[in-house]
Homo-oligomer: A and B are copies of this chain.
Amino acid sequence: MEKDTKTHIITVALQLFEEKGLNKVSLNEVIKASGLSKGAFYHHFKDKKELTSTCIHYYWEDMSNNVVKLPIQDMSLKDALSMILQQFDEAIKRINEGNDNFFEMYLNMLYSIRNDEKILSMSRNYFKKFKQKLSDCIKKEIERGIIREDVDPENTALLITTCTEGHGLLSSANIYDSPNQKLEIIYDQIYKSITTK
């Protein structure tokens, strides 16, 4: 029962946060939307910070899992990049076309990283895993003779990771008109430069 209420509050809060932006939602709104009383809220959470931080954990875990589940290491690099492209396409669509405030939530999460040990380690883990999967994928492609032998898998994976993140940021921020096309170009550029002729 207790667990249910807490989860309920988190769910409601996350929805509000994504709709209006984490900083624009007051505790009163969360409480009202959750149909509970003030006291009930404070029975489950120490204070507002605990709620927001918990929500960010959930949000981040959700994002991480989506990536972790991707079977990048078992695919060809071409297919892997295609899949990431598609994933980002959907995310960007959600951000730009939806009415929600997913982007502010994302920025808040980034901001929280510097003040929240747990989120920091989650984030590092996420990027580490993402890079590792790419790296593994590249190694196999080298073995298969698709990627040149002199290519460093680690460094290439790092490059892909950062430019994907940078592209995601600039797209979310609405700076690129046709984000998806841009990412395709970027991936092509990298892909061409490491494959055997």
Contact = CB atoms under 8 A, between A and B. Distances in A.
A189 interface: yes
Interface string A95-120: 00000000110011011011000001
20 contacts: A21-B111, A110-B173, A111-B173, A113-B175, A120-B174, A124-B175, A127-B170, A127-B175, A155-B189, A158-B182, A159-B190, A162-B163, A164-B166, A165-B169, A165-B170, A166-B167, A166-B168, A169-B169, A190-B193, A193-B193
Contacts of A146: none
A155 B188 contact: yes
Closest 5 pairs (CB-CB, A-B): A166-B166, A193-B193, A165-B166, A163-B163, A162-B166
B164 A113 contact: no
Given A127-B175, A173-B113, A185 B165 contact: no
A75 to B, nearest CB: 21
Contacts of A189: 152, 155-156, 158-159
A139 to B, nearest CB: 16
Contacts of A161: 166
A15 interface: no
A95 to B, nearest CB: 9
A188 B150 CA distance: 13
Given A103-B114, A110-B107, A158 B170 contact: no
Contact of A158 (B110, B114, B186, B194): B186
Nearest to A112: B173
B175 A123 contact: yes
Interface in A141-197: 152, 155-156, 158-159, 161-170, 172-175, 182, 185-186, 188-190, 193-194
Contacts of A165: 166, 169-170
A65 interface: no
